[in-house]
């Protein structure tokens, strides 16, 4: 039997919470807060009455979680952008100027700290939101490219002295950074919202992969030698990473 997946929304104290319900071959029931939604996993054999009872338990669990940790579900809030908004990435401030255009595509450019976005007036709300996120990421990546490349080179020269083919900033959600066997260092633009020492940790992590393309004890020794307090940086990402996004 294939998993049956459905989507719902739950509103608690004015907050709209995305819910993913998964019915699958399992015996236990599991509640979990994921990156994109709160998940309810149920055995496929439950009757409708049993499912209703578990949904009631589930909503009670979410309510209790919110009372204990009011900011727990902030990661699900959709950022809104309006014309003339001001927003910050690290210590850099940008002004946003949005123009609706009769076009099938979206475009953007950055000039003197102002981001000019031309958004299609035919786009759906979901498409528009996705377009804004990717345009902002691309423009910010271009603005930070030089300083981040210099930082990678400086940390490499200080601790590793390995060959680097290139440094790229991408709007990556699956990880904070990656390193290819050819020597390309890729960093997520989401990382630019983090403190400098956290950015340095991810850079050090990826540079260490130029020596060890794994997570062996030798790899972690390389990281620790360069950054003895690296576990504090990992903890920051674990606790605050969901807030690093456009």
pTM over 0.95: no
Section 21-26 average pLDDT: 91
Residue 183, token pair as written in the block? 């020597």
Under the banding of pLDDT at 50, 70 and 90, the label for residue 145 is very high
Q: What percent of the chain has pLDDT over 90?
A: 70
Q: Is the pLDDT of residue 72 over 80?
A: no
Task: Pick the range with the lowest mean pLDDT from 12-26, 47-61, 106-120, 180-194.
Answer: 12-26
The strand order across the sheet containing 92-101 reads 86-89, 92-101, 114-120, 107-111
The pLDDT of 110-129, averaged and rounded, is 93
Please tell me the least confidently modeled range out of 7-16, 47-56, 202-211: 7-16
Cα angle 110, 142, 105; round to 5? 60
Distance CA 200, CA 213 (A): 19
CATH of domain 86-243: 3.30.2010.10
Extract the tokens encoding 218.
């030798």
Please state the rounded mean pLDDT for residues 165-171: 96
Q: Which of 39-48, 192-201, 217-226 has the lowest mean pLDDT?
A: 39-48
Across 58-62, 68-72, 184-188, least confident range: 68-72
Domain ranges of the chain: 4-76, 86-243
Tokens coding 5? 């997946």
Of the candidates 106, 127, 90, the residue with the CA atom closest to the CA atom of residue 98: 106
Alpha carbon 131 to chain centroid distance? 16
* Confidence check: pLDDT of 54 > 80: yes
Which residue shows structure tokens 């299609």? 120
C-alpha to C-alpha distance for 13 and 63, rounded to whole angstroms: 9
Task: Using alpha carbons, select from 15, 72, 42 the residue that is nearest to residue 243.
Answer: 72
Over residues 212-245, the pLDDT tens digits come to 999 999 999 999 999 999 999 999 998 888 789 8
Q: How far is CA 231 from CA 104, 144, 175, 205, 235, in A?
A: 46, 26, 17, 11, 6
Phi, psi at residue 12, to the nearest 5°?
-130, 125
- In the predicted model, is pLDDT for residue 79 greater than 90? no
Q: Quote the percentage of the chain above a pLDDT of 70.
A: 98
Spatial strand order in the sheet of 166-170:
166-170, 184-188, 177-179
Which residue, 142, 133, 241, is CA-closest to 193?
A: 241
Is the per-residue pLDDT at 1 higher than 70? Answer: no
Separation of alpha carbons 158 and 172, rounded Å: 27
Summarize the confidence of residues 105-121 as an average pLDDT.
97
């Amino acid at each position: 039997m294939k998993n049956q997946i459905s989507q719902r929304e739950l509103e608690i104290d004015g907050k709209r919470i995305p819910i993913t319900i998964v019915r699958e071959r399992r015996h236990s029931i599991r509640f979990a807060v994921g990156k994109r939604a709160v998940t309810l996993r149920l055995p496929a054999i439950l009757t409708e009455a049993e499912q209703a009872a578990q949904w009631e338990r589930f909503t009670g669990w979410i309510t209790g979680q919110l009372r204990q940790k009011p900011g727990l579900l902030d990661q699900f809030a959709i950022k809104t952008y309006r014309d003339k908004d001001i927003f910050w990435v690290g210590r850099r401030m940008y002004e946003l100027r949005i123009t609706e255009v009769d076009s099938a595509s979206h475009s953007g450019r950055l000039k003197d700290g102002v981001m000019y976005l031309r958004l299609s007036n035919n786009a759906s709300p979901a498409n528009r939101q996705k377009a804004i996120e990717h345009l902002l990421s691309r423009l910010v990546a271009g603005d930070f490219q030089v300083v981040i490349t210099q930082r990678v080179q400086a940390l490499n020269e200080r601790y590793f002295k390995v060959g680097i083919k290139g440094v790229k900033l991408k709007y990556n959600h699956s990880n904070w950074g990656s390193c290819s066997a050819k020597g390309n260092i890729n960093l997520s633009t989401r990382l630019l919202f983090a403190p400098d020492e956290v950015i340095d940790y991810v850079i050090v992590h990826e540079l260490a992969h130029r020596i060890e393309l794994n997570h062996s004890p030798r790899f972690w020794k390389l990281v620790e030698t360069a950054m003895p307090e690296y576990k504090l940086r990992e903890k920051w990402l674990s606790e605050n990473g969901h807030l690093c996004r456009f």
